[in-house]
């Protein structure tokens, strides 16, 4: 298939142009300043498991954000904190014994649930020294914490926090005692692997966002018929240099990559001595999914 007449979306991002950008639900590779938002409470885990998890995420190339109390404003979540939650691809509430005692954590997890419903944000709950049942039914330390919150903030507001926790527990999370027998180092490795799997780090950086590219991406994805059968399809994108063919190919790649166990993007084939060398390069740089 030839895709011509591309100039209508040649206009690139700069200060003078109107820009068409995809929402996070359209393309999870676009528009996320942070990829992971960590929500936790307690100075003990801030300096231990949470600190190790945060730095392990950074070392793995994941853009992670951890809550900083300086971003709290009065009785509400500060604008920067709110933005970080909304823009993150994955929200990770780290449930500990003292998690529910923090109104900020409850506000954060409620915002995560909202983002999950509105923008398809993923939530990956972690359970340290509490069980999912304790969080869901708000027993033990959670019962005491919610009782104090109701006295201060009223039943209606606190009920929204209770409902948010119940929503999160329904999702597939990881329990420290069950998946790693209490070993924090092993637990962190499992979390990192799951995060990378969910983020699908094989996404390509598309750089600029081009006006009108959305329709072309949908057209090509439809032509590829991914998942309909096992047939191999080849689609050609034709046009003069500089009109966005490679960018279009990257957008399509990002849209369909999650359907495959492994993936690769081979560019600048004309600069390679032959097709055999090109595929050798592909094999050397392919990206297996976790």
Which ranges in the chain belong to alpha helices (H)? 43-46, 49-59, 79-87, 103-119, 132-137, 141-153, 155-169, 176-180, 184-199, 213-224, 245-256, 275-285
Just give the CATH number of 36-198: 3.40.50.10140
Residues serving a catalytic function are 108
Single pTM value for the model: 0.61
* Per-residue pLDDT tens listing for the chain (290 residues): 333 333 332 323 222 222 222 233 333 333 457 889 999 988 778 889 999 999 998 888 788 998 765 555 555 667 778 888 888 899 999 999 999 999 999 999 999 999 999 888 899 999 999 999 999 999 999 999 999 999 999 999 999 999 999 999 999 899 999 999 999 999 999 999 888 888 865 566 666 556 677 788 888 888 888 777 777 788 888 888 888 888 888 888 877 776 666 677 777 666 666 666 666 666 665 555 44
How far is Cα 57 from Cα 189, in angstroms, rounded to an integer?
10
Helices 245-256 and 213-224 pack at an angle, to 10 degrees, of 60
- Domain parsing of the chain, residue ranges: 36-198, 204-285
């Amino acid at each position: 298939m030839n895709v011509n007449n591309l100039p209508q979306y040649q206009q690139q991002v700069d200060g003078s142009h109107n820009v068409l950008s995809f929402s996070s639900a359209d393309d999870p590779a676009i528009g996320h300043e942070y990829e992971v938002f960590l929500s936790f409470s307690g100075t003990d885990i801030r300096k231990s498991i949470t600190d190790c998890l945060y730095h392990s995420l950074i070392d793995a190339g994941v853009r992670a954000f951890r809550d900083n109390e300086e971003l709290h404003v009065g009785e509400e979540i500060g604008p920067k904190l709110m933005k970080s939650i909304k823009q993150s691809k994955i929200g990770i509430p780290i449930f500990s014994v003292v998690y529910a005692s923090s109104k900020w954590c409850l506000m954060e997890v409620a915002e995560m649930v909202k983002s999950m419903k509105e923008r398809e944000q993923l939530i990956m709950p972690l359970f340290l020294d509490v069980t999912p049942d304790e969080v869901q039914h708000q027993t033990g330390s959670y019962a005491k914490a919610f009782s104090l919150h109701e006295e201060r903030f009223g039943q209606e507001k606190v009920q929204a926090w209770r409902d948010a926790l119940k929503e999160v527990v329904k999702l597939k999370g990881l329990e420290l005692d069950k998946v790693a027998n209490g070993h924090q180092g092993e637990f962190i490795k499992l979390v990192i692997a799951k995060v990378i799997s969910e983020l699908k780090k094989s996404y390509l950086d598309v750089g600029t966002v081009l006006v009108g590219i959305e329709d072309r991406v949908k057209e090509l994805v439809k032509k590829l018929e991914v998942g309909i059968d096992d047939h191999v399809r080849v689609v050609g994108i034709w046009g003069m240099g500089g009109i966005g063919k490679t960018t279009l190919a990257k957008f399509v790649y990002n849209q369909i990559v999650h359907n495959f166990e492994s993936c690769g993007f081979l560019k600048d084939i004309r600069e390679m001595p032959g097709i055999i060398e090109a595929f050798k390069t592909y094999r050397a740089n392919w990206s297996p999914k976790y």
